Amino acid sequence: MAPKPYIFLIIALLFIFLPLTASIHFKLPAIFNFGDSNSDTGELVAAGVYSLEPPYGQSYFTKPSGRYCDGRLIIDFLLEAMDLPFLNAYLDSIGRTSFRKGCNFAAAGSTIEPPTARAVSPFSFRVQVAQFIRFKLQVLRLIAKGKKLHKYLPDEDYFQNGLYMFDIGQNDLAGAFYSKTFDQILALIPLILTEFETGIKTLYDQGARNFWVHNTGPLGCLAQNVAKFGTDPSSLDELGCVSKHNQAAKVFNLQLHTLCKKLQGQYAGSNFTYVDIYTIKWNLIANYSKFGFEQPIMVCCGYGGPPLNYDSRIGCGKTEVLNGTTMTAKACSDSSEYVNWDGIHYSEAANQYVSSQILTGKYSDPPFSDKMPFLLGLKF
């Protein structure tokens, strides 16, 4: 197979940015993450709520890892860049699990708002924050008893000096479209963000000072939403994405950005970084071939064939009887050619691209270069 164009682009970028990359030293003792399937490293599966079968995990872990992806997530790539180990899920404590460098409370299907009766996940943002409080309390109790568990648990000062990451809100918006009008969804956004603000305040009161907040991506470009809400061509934009979903995401992101700025001024000693995931993902979908991808919206692991290869009745890796015939949703031959993995989640290759763009610092407010001393220590 001939090398893909993006391989040469990456090599060129490495040479261009090598001096800067080499001068960066990450000084984060631990990461505490909150979110949904975009950053779930095994929480929902460990809870017994859902199971993942092959081909999930095939591209990196060679087996399902609890991640809703063929391999690594954005958070995995970011942690690698920070020279930190992958985060273990809070509920995944069987075996030689270590929480020394942090803990992941994110669970697939989670929302900021309290879950409804039809929710996939019971672990809303409020519940995840409550889990963190319990985790911290238990850690402090255990380390006070001696050093026996020191290598498995974070030091007390890690809770103040660590980085608190958030990638949540996508499911609040996406789920609302099934029962609410567009205007009702827009009216709901301030309420969602009030709940988010409450959780942030609780964490701040617990000693958190360094906050890293991802906005939500272009929901209308996910095959699941295109299949359900994009049957009328007039509802789609120039990229084939559902316009209303993306408009709602933009309004949510604008208000989230405003909230981050407000909290930065409100909480003494805090550092808030807002990361524009939407723009990164939109640029990827709009210019997919430039970055070595062949399919921006069509699903790698799905059923039904072009144009979406997505059928809500049969999830990736599942076998179901459709119209009297047994069918299996299988993976494509090369997931690195696809932006979308299973209709809802991005492929490892797409996640790697997104994380590489995050690490440039230019999609963050404030940018890395001069406003993020808690994350980057530049060596001169």
Is cis: bond before 3, omega within 30 of 0? no
CA dist 318 and 308 (Å) reads: 17
CATH architecture of 26-285+346-365: 3-Layer(aba) Sandwich (3.40)
Instruction: Show which residues are catalytic.
Output: 37, 342, 345
Q: Which two tokens stand for residue 132?
A: 């963190």
DSSP secondary structure, 150-205, as one string: GGGS--TTHHHHSEEEEE--HHHHHHHTTTS-HHHHHHHHHHHHHHHHHHHHHHHH
Question: What is the pTM for the complete model shown?
Answer: 0.90
Q: Which two tokens stand for residue 82?
A: 């920070």
b or e along 170-191 (b: 16 or more beta carbons within 10 Å of the residue's beta carbon)? bbbbbbbbeeeeeeebbebbee
Residue listed under structure tokens 């062949």 = 294
The SS3 assignment for 325 reads strand
Cα–Cα–Cα angle for 40, 69, 374, rounded to 5 degrees: 45
pLDDT 10s per residue in the chain (380 long)?
A: 444 444 433 433 443 333 323 223 357 899 999 999 999 999 999 999 999 999 999 999 999 999 999 999 999 999 999 999 999 999 998 877 899 999 999 999 999 999 988 889 999 999 999 999 999 999 999 999 988 888 999 999 999 999 999 999 999 999 999 999 999 999 999 999 999 999 999 999 999 999 999 999 999 999 999 999 999 999 999 999 999 999 999 999 999 999 999 999 999 999 999 999 999 999 999 999 999 999 999 999 999 999 999 999 999 999 999 999 999 999 999 999 999 999 999 999 999 999 999 999 999 998 865 544 445 443 32
